[in-house]
Structure 1
Amino acid sequence: MLYPRSNEARTVLDLNGIWDFQLDDGHAFEQGWWKQDLPAPEKVSVPASYNDQFCDVKVRDHCGWAFYQRAFELPDILRTQRIVLRFGSVTHKAKVYLNGECLGEHEGGFLPFEFEIGARLRPGKNRLTVAVDNTVDYSTLPIGNEAGAAFFGSDLPDIPAVNATRQAPHNAPNFDFFNYAGIHRPVKIYTTPSVYIEDIVVIPVCEQGKWKVCYRVTGSAKDEKVAKVSVLDKKGDVVGETTGNEGEIAIANPHLWQPGQGYLYRLRVVYGEDVYEEKFGLRTVRVEKTSFLINEKPFYFKGFGKHEDTETHGRGLDEAWNVKDLNLLKAVNANSFRTSHYPYAEEMLDLCDEEGIVVIDETSAVGLNFLWNDPLGWSKFRTQEHHRQVIRDLIARDKNHPCVVLWSIANEPDTEKQPEQARDYFAPLYALAHECDPQNRPVSLVICQNDYTRDLCAPMMDIVLANRYYGWYVFGGDLDAARRAMQKEMEYWKSLEKPFMLCEYGADTVAGIHNMAPNMFSEEYQVECLKTINDVLDACPFVVGEHVWNFADFATIQGTLRVDGNKKGAFTRDRRPKLSAHYLKARWREIPDFDYKQV
């Protein structure tokens, strides 16, 4: 799906700003709220989560449907073109109505969707209503618990006072971040000519030291029109051109896209009266034995797992924070991050393309775990077809981004308790990701703290990605034991002869707590915990990266496990550095992006 861009053939209008908002009182659909003005609306900002924009626990912890509404007008001159309404993301399910008519529904809270609306527009003002459902359960991604289960799948205690109390409907997420909801990314109307460019695929190829870009243009007229295609360099000069809906263009004197050097070309496509320019970078990605290669050089990941999470905006797009976060990454000499645990905004990936930040792009499949002795096993989850669609849509959206070097199809699924079922679930998804990606990037999933010797999914991935909390959840406070446990585990992964990357490790740390003798929750303990694990990683040539958990503190649901959120950040939620940020800055300064280890 192409991002809306304005040019000589296309117009983009922004519907962001202040909308009307009202929580469903249980009668919204019965009363047909989408057919009229909302009965008792309040004001809300779009894009943003709605949860923290109000001073009411009922809004913050709401479970179920909420309604957004606004009016808009379009210039008459645009009505001669094809008109499309596009949502960057709505979490987790959306029903969209225009002038009382349902345009359609969308499931999945982190990817875009759109509707053609030209035939349904009225002269003058039009009413747009969006119903948003934030419910998470065994059918959604991310996963929510059902039947009143609490966070991490634990049951309510079996005592009379609890059994006699029936809780109101509420979400019980099986994931450790706040279940923010709402219209999270921009709402846009864009126009195209009636015959238009549907999609563009860009594949950079290097053969015997010579670079070319292979491309494929899909147009609405199918084979009835022929595209004119040219490649422009960063200065706007044409460096190659051809004609055809599919083909290749050789690029002389190439400038490569590399970590820290985000050189971008533009593929300009003229298709009938339509025009579109897609940015791309010249770079290759592949796995060779125990190395992860970018442009045929062994790359070492230095960075973090992150979250789209800020005060007030919640999970909503905030481009100022995106710029700040990338500047902080560069300040501590990081070169990469993972979009834990869902696809991030396209605007963030555009920035990473420009800045040369490497991205592991992850689906929203988090929470497929904690089965323990559940007799239903994997059959309790009703997610596989939705999971397939998320993979298709993610790769369709992000396929041309040079910053994306690796697909992660899940975070911490239960790949050990029910191994045969897990393999049957994930093997087709692994194959699907490869099938969908024109650039055939490596594919993996991130395994949780488990009996790694029984894990049947990690060994079949292109690279082993693991989350490990030795020194925190395992051997908390005992870093000597943490070191020995990590060393023991790495002996096993070495035997697989695959690249290994640690995607999460660290310790909860309350900013301002200091101790001469480091202990848990102090800033000093976080540093010593990271040092302990890093010492082990440095001794293993097959380790190709380290992503600390987490970049910054972030919001979670209420519970005894969390005090005002998860505190594992190297930065506070408002991006103030802890001691660990300074430690990582010094460590990563000495680790080059390429050729860090001799294999």
Structure 2
Amino acid sequence: MRRVFERVLAAMAVLAAVASAAQAGPTLTRADRRDGQDLSGTWNYSVDPYRDGVAGFHRGPPGTGHRRYDDSDVEQVTRADPKALYEYDMQRSPTATLPASWLTHAPEMRHYQGLVWYQRRFDAAALKPGQRAFLRFEAANYTAKVYLNGKTAGEHEGGFTPFSLEVTSLLRAGQNQVTVGVDSTPAVDGAPPPVTDWETYGGITRPVRLVITPETFVDDAWVRLTRDGKTIAADVRLDGSAAAGQAVSVKVAGLNLTLSGQAGADGVAKLTAPAPKGLRRWAPGAPVLYDVRVEAGDDVLTDRVGFRTVEVRGGDILVNGKPVFLRGICLHEEELGENPARTITEASAHALLAEARDGLHANFVRLAHYPHSEVTTRLADEMGLLVWSEIPIYWLVDFGNARTLKLARDMQADAIRRDRNRASIVLWSVANETPVSEARNAFLGTLADDVRALDDTRLVTAALLADRKIEGGRQLMGVDDPLAAKLDVLAVNTYAGWYSDDSLDAVAKIAWRPTDKPLVFSEFGADALAGFSDPALMRKFSEDFQARYYVQTLAMAANAPSLRGMSPWILKDFRSPRRQHPVYQQGWNRKGLISPTGRRKAAFKVLADYYEKLAGEGR
């Protein structure tokens, strides 16, 4: 297998030529802090299951009466010309408050998959000479076609990473009309794949902002402590005609530190300075953040940044040179409540992260299985939680498809560029539960190489599948995956006792082979309907079974000599259309340690007590 992997790696150069992860457009880091206006609020929406607004019956362009993005007032047009035929009227269509998935717009939208058109009008001041305008979407799931004042602004594929479209020539003084066609249908050659275990959450699920910049502006500024802990480095990327040769400065408040230099011909300035002796490092449980100000020409970009190091040494994960055990939990991007709409505000994110940090005594969260909201990663910085960030590469991804590889590489690059300043993120994950094959090995190997090229200050991982053998009459688990050679930290999902016929007593006796790298149990868990107790039979879906499952699985963890962390699946019950038991599931995956509304199950205390003990031991 290793030789096969090496041959496949040699072929990756060919794939790389087809699927480059080069930056395609502006990043607009920290768009929330830039000049402009938030376009959240009331939008009109119109369902379009047959994509009538995209193409006509004979695959030609849609006719006048079907183009929902046209810059026209349908009521006014039809009053002026009674013969005009329109089969839409966006301004009289139902309304919804965005950002939010359309799942909660109306009862009939609960399981809708397909195309939905959104539209709103907003007023804008006239651009001053030398100004540029962008529409920046933090996320629209899954593909989005964007129009401003009836003209195409651009499109994007991928439901979890931001994208920015320049609209300088399309924006007008006074009233403007923005229309977005969002299609939630996953592509067979897309990422994620069509088969999943959670709600799709189609729609505009994160904020939209009109951003106004100078002609040349600071597009991205990556400010960090280098791996050796001796240097503050800043890579500043400028966008605009005056980028080359532009003077750049990075000021770190509280440290009396200024990094200065000039951008090169590519518009990038690479600045360094010795780390000040008074630098206080960011650490889990002790988050120290500094206000950073980046200046270039007429533009200023600000951020809050923590400085720390993370590395693997031998079998340990080290933060600031000290071994750490990752006391974690998995999270989906889904707020508390019976009808979550993937509306992640600072309050809703804090409710989830606080339950992990303060309730479970966790120091780590795995944000599965896609890049989560910027609100969450910024809040993790503030709250002192370590983070695993992941892209949606799992299960049935078309690993042999060059388009799919390019899409995954672009997603990975966008996620890293967005969040490189977040000290909380220590692990970039390239995949979850992917079966071994030559095509998969090459695909994920390319992603791992991309991560290292884009960010050499963090660790690379992937959630792998465990292999199981019987040796000496004993059940023995381990990791036998050629991708392990490309990773810093090995992670494995294990569900013995839930997705297996093992008795719970047998689970505690399972042993794990030592690995030459740190090992993390990236998932384990069992379903339980909050409030359902069955202590006599200990049936699955009871709180009694789930609690006992945790007791025995944590006992199994003691048999894994390389284990340096865990993130059980999952903090909160989450919606999943494939989970349809009429009594216990009702469209929910019940592996949460808390119910949809936040009620703690018995297993919550089992894990909390375990983590509290580890924390007391300094782990």
TM-score of Structure 1 vs Structure 2, range by shorter chain: 0.7 to 0.9
Is residue 2:496 matched to residue 1:470?
yes
Write the distance in 2 (CA, Å) between the matches of 1:138 and 1:381. Answer: 13
**Match for 1:367 among 386, 392, 395?**
395
| Corresponding pairs, count | 539
Is residue 2:369 matched to residue 1:346?
no
Secondary structure in 2 matching 1:320: helix
Write the distance in 2 (CA, Å) between the matches of 1:333 and 1:80. Answer: 51
Secondary structure in 1 matching 2:350: helix
Is residue 2:520 matched to residue 1:501?
yes
Q: 1:557-588: per-residue Cα shift (whole Å, max 9, x none)?
A: 14546533100000111111111112222211
Identity of aligned residues (%): 30
TM superposition shift of 1:479? 0.8
Is residue 2:67 matched to residue 1:32?
yes
**Match for 1:456 among 482, 501, 512?**
482
Which residue of structure 1 aligns with residue 59 of structure 2?
Answer: none
Write the distance in 2 (CA, Å) between the matches of 1:351 and 1:397. Answer: 14
Greater Cα offset, 77-86 or 266-275: 77-86
**Match for 2:597 among 551, 569, 574?**
574
Partners of 2:507 and 2:556 within 8 A in 1 = no
Write the distance in 1 (CA, Å) between the matches of 2:406 and 2:196. Answer: 20
Indicate how the Cα distance of structure 1 residues 389 and 265 shifts in structure 2: closer, same or farther if over 3 A, else same.
same
Which residue of structure 2 aligns with residue 414 of structure 1?
Answer: 435
Indicate how the Cα distance of structure 1 residues 581 and 90 shifts in structure 2: closer, same or farther if over 3 A, else same.
same
TM superposition shift of 1:394? 1.2
**Match for 2:211 among 184, 190, 198?**
190
Q: 1:379-401: per-residue Cα shift (whole Å, max 9, x none)?
A: 47962221111111111111121
Is residue 2:543 matched to residue 1:523?
yes
Which residue of structure 2 aligns with residue 47 of structure 1?
Answer: 99
Write the distance in 2 (CA, Å) between the matches of 1:227 and 1:327. Answer: 38
TM superposition shift of 1:454? 4.9
Write the distance in 1 (CA, Å) between the matches of 2:143 and 2:116. Answer: 11
Which residue of structure 2 aligns with residue 535 of structure 1?
Answer: 555
Indicate how the Cα distance of structure 1 residues 458 and 123 shifts in structure 2: closer, same or farther if over 3 A, else same.
same
**Match for 1:72 among 112, 122, 129?**
122
Alignment of 1:62-461 (within 5 A): 62-76=112-126, 81-144=131-194, 174-205=195-226, 207=228, 211-220=230-239, 221-233=242-254, 238-244=255-261, 245-250=269-274, 251-310=276-335, 311=337, 312-331=339-358, 332-368=360-396, 378-379=399-400, 383-415=404-436, 419-439=437-457, 441-448=458-465, 450=467, 454-461=480-487
Write the distance in 2 (CA, Å) between the matches of 1:442 and 1:214. Answer: 18
Which residue of structure 2 aligns with residue 372 of structure 1?
Answer: none
Write the distance in 1 (CA, Å) between the matches of 2:508 and 2:586. Answer: 28
Q: 1:154-194: per-residue Cα shift (whole Å, max 9, x none)?
A: xxxxxxxxxxxxxxxxxxxx121111100010011122222
TM superposition shift of 1:520? 1.8
Write the distance in 2 (CA, Å) between the matches of 1:280 and 1:359. Answer: 15
Q: 1:522-544: per-residue Cα shift (whole Å, max 9, x none)?
A: 11221111111111213434201
Write the distance in 2 (CA, Å) between the matches of 1:142 and 1:352. Answer: 25
Which residue of structure 1 aligns with residue 573 of structure 2?
Answer: 553
Write the distance in 1 (CA, Å) between the matches of 2:223 and 2:402. Answer: 36
Write the distance in 2 (CA, Å) between the matches of 1:295 and 1:594. Answer: 19
Letter in 2 for 1:557: P
Is residue 2:583 matched to residue 1:564?
no
Which residue of structure 2 aligns with residue 147 of structure 1?
Answer: none
Partners of 1:203 and 1:438 within 8 A in 2 = no
Indicate how the Cα distance of structure 1 residues 78 and 482 shifts in structure 2: closer, same or farther if over 3 A, else same.
farther
Say what the alpha-carbon RMSD is for the aligned residues.
2.2
TM-score, normalised on structure 2? 0.83
Q: 1:294-323: per-residue Cα shift (whole Å, max 9, x none)?
A: 111111111211111134442232332101
Partners of 2:520 and 2:563 within 8 A in 1 = yes
TM-score, normalised on structure 1? 0.85
Indicate how the Cα distance of structure 1 residues 382 and 116 shifts in structure 2: closer, same or farther if over 3 A, else same.
closer
Partners of 1:467 and 1:504 within 8 A in 2 = yes
Write the distance in 2 (CA, Å) between the matches of 1:79 and 1:569. Answer: 54
Write the distance in 2 (CA, Å) between the matches of 1:85 and 1:4. Answer: 14
Letter in 2 for 1:282: F
Write the distance in 2 (CA, Å) between the matches of 1:482 and 1:206. Answer: 39
Letter in 2 for 1:538: A
Write the distance in 2 (CA, Å) between the matches of 1:594 and 1:339. Answer: 26
Is residue 2:29 matched to residue 1:12?
no
Write the distance in 2 (CA, Å) between the matches of 1:258 and 1:431. Answer: 27
Partners of 1:501 and 1:543 within 8 A in 2 = yes
Write the distance in 1 (CA, Å) between the matches of 2:170 and 2:179. Answer: 14
Q: 1:10-68: per-residue Cα shift (whole Å, max 9, x none)?
A: 52311001100010152222221111455251111100100122111xx2222221100
